[in-house]
Structure 1
């Protein structure tokens, strides 16, 4: 009973860790945006070429890194004070996920080591099931009304309405269309699904190896 409780708790923490890594991977997966510049025809929305758009985007992503300590200054775009405050808020969200990622890594690592020593591999199956449920829960509202989900997220995540950018004072919003964020969400869903499949395969392999070893004794 004790090991089952440890397995369930470890699975939850391990799942949170893996979901946190998808946030970090998605933030840093710049090829997705570079692809979207042409796919979403962003150059038609602003008087900028692809390279200039990439430079401004790269500055934003560099700024959002938890380790970055400087101020946000776009190479060729103005920014209002409200816009600056919003990006500080966004950066704080990524800092939060960074803390969550490292804390859950160390806690889940301890639980995994304990359970593996006990030859209790069910933790991988539990985690795989939790991760598989995560994209299912997300994908349905995304497909029904992504705009509503996107707006609801901002209302929950932020304590002000500075995320409602005016393109005349914060033209960066023209470089970040809503469909790009939908693609980011889909990337996270894909990553979580891959994690789930890998963990389920790992669970089956470990059980097979354990049964084979016990049969040889």
Structure 2
């Protein structure tokens, strides 16, 4: 015959395990939102089209707008394609090192696609299960986890975006081929650092919208509980 103390310990243990599982789920859900924000930013070509004029890219690169758009669209379509294919810019010359770098970038985005599927599946199952059981706290918990990244990123950007940009490349790339020489890889002239800064801000903006949306949904569902 089990003692009351044993039953209490079992309940405490189950509650602890449940809490840990909920934290892990919220982390997974957060990763799904982050990967989605990154992917949407890559797909959002209008940001670059705006920057072509805003950053005077034709004047800075000595390429026409049509040529810039054609080559930029090729790069984005190349990165978004799940198929293995050779990197071959339409009209701008490039080196072997440049080609290798874009292949490396493509591998990263292919990995993000895989992680999107995995985290998306877990997020869907977990969200449905939690909502079914009227446990809406995961929404608040996920938004709290997500708050950390925008704060860290915005702080790094304000202090020194160039340094943050460099650290990012050193973390994700095993070589220095991302340090383009404009003489042999003039494509770098149509991809100014400020464009990547604007892209990073878009990712942060999408994360902030996600945080606010999660909080709003949580409040509405909790009020009906």
Identify the TM-score tier after normalising by the shorter chain: over 0.9
Shift of 1:129: 1.1
Quote the residue 2:129 is aligned against: 114
Q: Deviations over 1:106-153 (max 9, x none)?
A: 112222222112111000000111112210111001111000000111
Quote the residue 1:84 is aligned against: 99
Count of residue pairs brought into register by the alignment: 210
Quote the residue 2:180 is aligned against: 165
**Any stretches of 5+ residues in structure 2 without a counterpart?**
1-14
Q: What is the Cα-based RMSD across aligned positions, in Å?
A: 1.1
Q: Which has the larger radius of gyration?
A: 2
Cα distance in structure 2, aligned partners of 1:111 and 1:186: 29
Cα distance in structure 2, aligned partners of 1:207 and 1:77: 55
| Cα contact 1:77–1:172 (8 A) shared by 2 | yes
1:126 counterpart SS class: helix
1:124-163 aligned within 5 A = 124-163=139-178
| Cα contact 1:66–1:94 (8 A) shared by 2 | no
2:93 counterpart SS class: coil
Cα distance in structure 2, aligned partners of 1:115 and 1:48: 53
Q: Deviations over 1:170-196 (max 9, x none)?
A: 000000001100111000000000000
Quote the residue 1:29 is aligned against: 44
Shift of 1:4: 2.6
Indicate whether 1:192 and 2:207 are aligned.
yes
